[in-house]
């Protein structure tokens, strides 16, 4: 049988740790929500692929499709 004495400092640290954990979880939820909203507003997958700031002729209809 071990004796476990919890000091007041442990309780305060535990409370702070829960607070920091909740803040981190809230930040993750906000970032995930913004990502979901942005992807849903794009509509078409082709628009999503075009938004990478790189010119790719293979995704533009009629350009480079022949041959």
pLDDT tens digits along 5-60: 778 888 889 889 999 999 999 999 999 999 888 878 776 666 666 666 666 677 67
pTM of the model: 0.54
d(CA 17, CA 20): 5
What is the model's pLDDT at position 34? 92
The per-residue pLDDT for 66 is: 52
64 touches 57 (CB < 8 A) = yes
Q: Which residues of 11-23 are buried (b: 16+ CB within 10 A; e: fewer)?
A: eeeeeeeeeeeee
């Amino acid at each position: 049988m071990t004796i476990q004495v919890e000091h007041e400092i442990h309780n305060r640290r535990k409370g702070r740790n829960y607070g920091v954990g909740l803040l981190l979880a809230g930040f993750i939820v906000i970032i995930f929500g913004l990502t979901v909203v942005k992807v849903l507003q794009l509509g078409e997958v082709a628009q999503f692929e075009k938004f990478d700031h790189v010119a790719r002729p293979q995704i533009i209809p009629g350009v480079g499709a022949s041959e």
